[in-house]
Amino acid sequence: MKYPLLSPLRRAAVCAVASARAACAHLLARREIRTTLIAAGLSMIAPMANAVDLSDLGSATDVICLVSSWISGPWLFGIGLVVIIVAFIAIATSESTIAKVLSTALAGIGFAACAVPILQNHFKISYVCT
């Protein structure tokens, strides 16, 4: 045993402090300081994004909710996943820039198709597309 005379609570506190020091030494090392500062900056800006309500999307919300009302949740989620996979394959295999742009738009449509069932079922947000 490393610390035989310490109580279990004190031993846990010593281990926590040691692991916190190791994490700080890793995150604030010379190679990682830039990434740590970027992550800290993004985490400070993220609450200002207000990406909480679907009505912030404007008229795109109506289109997403219209498609969601035509196709039920599990089917829409599955179709969205298939569209995302096809779009990523198209991005990976395309050589021209315009094909990559169109494939990225296709991936966005797939993400939009998956968003409504995820918000309704997994996050239990009931005011989506009511």
Task: Give the tens place of pLDDT for each residue, 52-97.
Answer: 555 656 676 677 777 777 777 778 788 888 888 888 888 888 888 8
Same domain? For 71 and 118 the reply is yes
CA distance readout (Å), 40 to 11, 21, 37, 51, 105: 31, 18, 5, 19, 30
Same domain? For 67 and 97 the reply is yes
Same domain? For 41 and 59 the reply is no
- Is residue 2, in this structure, part of any structural domain at all? no
- Is residue 99, in this structure, part of any structural domain at all? yes
The closest of 55, 79, 76, 58 to 128, measured between CA atoms, is: 55
Same domain? For 37 and 89 the reply is no
Average pLDDT over residues 23-39: 77
Determine the structural domain holding residue 91 and report its residue range: 54-122
Task: Compute the distance between CA of residue 127 and CA of residue 53 in angstroms, rounded to an integer.
Answer: 9
- Is residue 1, in this structure, part of any structural domain at all? no
Task: Compute the distance between CA of residue 80 and CA of residue 67 in angstroms, rounded to an integer.
Answer: 11
Same domain? For 59 and 114 the reply is yes
DSSP 3: -
The better pLDDT of the pair 33, 60 is held by 33
N-terminal to C-terminal alpha carbon distance within the chain: 61
Same domain? For 60 and 34 the reply is no
Average pLDDT over residues 91-104: 85
What's this model's pTM, rounded to 2 decimal places?
Answer: 0.47
Same domain? For 115 and 83 the reply is yes
Q: How many domains does the chain have?
A: 2
What pLDDT is attached to residue 49? 61
